[in-house]
A = this chain, B = another copy of it.
Amino acid sequence: MQAIKDAVHDYVDLCPLAADLLDTTPLQRLRHVRQLSTVALVYPSANHTRFEHSLGVYHLAREAAERLDLDDEDALRVRAAALLHDVGHGPFGHQTEPAIERHLGRHHDEVEDLLSATGVADVLADHGLSVPEVAETIAGEAEYGRLVSGDLDVDRMDYLVRDAHHTGVPYGTVDHGRLLRAFEYREGRLVLSEGNVATAESVLVARTLMNATVYRHHVSRIAGAMLDRAAERLLGAGFDPERFARLTDHELLVAFGEREATAEVARRLGERDLYKRAGWWTWEEVPEALVDNSYLDVRTLERKVAGLAGVEERDVILDNPGRPSIPESGAHVVVDGEVERLADVSTLVSGLGACAREQWRLGVYAPDEHVGAVSAAASEVLGTD
């Protein structure tokens, strides 16, 4: 069996299905999509890609399937889904996700069309798998799909550890060895076995701390917001959204660079010459209605702020992260023999919910030279205190 050296899991042994899938275009493309997109602008070592992350998720899914003693067919399907779970991501992953959803009405884990249209479908067929069942598993819906996409899935078990390894920030080091040993199926549901409340809590804690220091670092958010607005201009000017969704990180930057409306963003991202914060408001400072604003509302507000500040529309970016959430709190754990929702048995989870709210910030960004004007205008338009 072929084995690939990985910086996190040492060796990833490839089953024949995985070896075949790796050679397909959608998976090879992930070599050119960074796992943490613009985070490398803050943590320069964070250049790892969705390709190696996909290998890691495959590795963990495989071990989980063995420990859960899945039958051969289910195990094969789960492995395929794990390896393919990220092929639906556009360039820069989560940071172009809203733009893709607006223009294609499609979420990154809706991949049935994509799998059907590429060599992946043939590989799956060769190994006795159908595209729809793999696509459903990726979406977390088919049996055992929660292993791949659920509250406490192998996806986050890999990325937390991998992001820690490559950023150097230690908070993401969850104990995946213990999690793999704690998984069990009860009443048709993936749960953590007795004695693992702290194990589950540790994953939430890891993600909360990684959010604060890495995933939602303001510099990365600024770059991400700049990307989003440039993507909108590109797509608004007629760039084919299906083609957009299949670009790599650098192909997107090249596409930006070739068009006048976006060339400046390409330069700024390339040289880390980013917008600065003109506003950075806590949950308490922001009128609650604003949090649920649609994208169109946001763009309208940006225009208002720009007008009041006397700057170009593109000199104002309003970055609204929406309501904070903790998906892992829906995980299930066995406590005294009963399957319980983590949020019901752990008060730490509520503490983390409050923590997510404390970390929450609404951002307004502008070029360095307009920060003062935009800051004042934004306060007035948004009604922040």
A residues apposed to B, CB below 8 Å: 3-8, 10-11, 23, 25, 28-29, 31-32, 34, 40, 43-49, 51-52, 55, 165-171, 173-175, 177-178, 181, 197-198, 201-202, 205, 208-209, 212-213, 248, 250-251, 253-254, 270-273, 346-352, 354-355, 358-359
Contact = CB atoms under 8 A, between A and B. Distances in A.
A25 B358 CA distance: 37
A377 B272 CA distance: 51
A175 B166 contact: no
Interface centre among A32, A40, A348 (most CB of B within 10 A): A348
Contacts of A3: 177, 181
Contact of A169 (B5, B205, B359): B5
9 contacts: A5-B45, A7-B168, A8-B45, A28-B271, A32-B270, A45-B52, A205-B209, A350-B351, A351-B351
Contacts of A250: 32, 248, 250-251, 253-254
Given A23-B272, A198-B209, A7 B165 contact: yes
B48 A45 contact: yes
A11 B167 CA distance: 11
Contacts of A43: 5, 7
A303 B8 CA distance: 44
Nearest to A4: B44
Judged by DSSP, the binding face of A is: helix
A6 B347 contact: no
Nearest to A1: B181
B5 A355 contact: no
A44 B49 contact: yes
B354 A167 contact: no
A270 B49 contact: no
Nearest to A45: B7
Given A44-B51, A173-B173, A355-B201, A168 B5 contact: yes
A181 to B, nearest CB: 6
B10 A177 contact: yes
Contacts of A355: 201, 346-348, 351
Contacts of A8: 45, 168
Nearest to A249: B250
Interface centre among A45, A52, A346 (most CB of B within 10 A): A45
A361 to B, nearest CB: 12
Interface centre among A7, A8, A354 (most CB of B within 10 A): A7
Contact of A358 (B7, B34, B272, B347): B347
B178 A45 contact: no
B28 A270 contact: yes
Contacts of A174: 170
Contacts of A166: 7, 166
Contact of A6 (B11, B44, B173): B44
A55 B359 CA distance: 30
B181 A198 contact: no
A31 B44 contact: yes
List 7 A-B pairs, minimum CB-CB distance, nearest first. Answer: A351-B351, A250-B250, A347-B354, A7-B45, A170-B173, A198-B212, A7-B168
Given A181-B11, A209-B201, A351-B352, A175 B167 contact: no
A347 B353 CA distance: 9
A372 B160 CA distance: 44
A374 B4 CA distance: 29
Contacts of A213: 198
Contacts of A168: 5-8, 10
Nearest to A254: B254
A153 to B, nearest CB: 19
A297 to B, nearest CB: 29
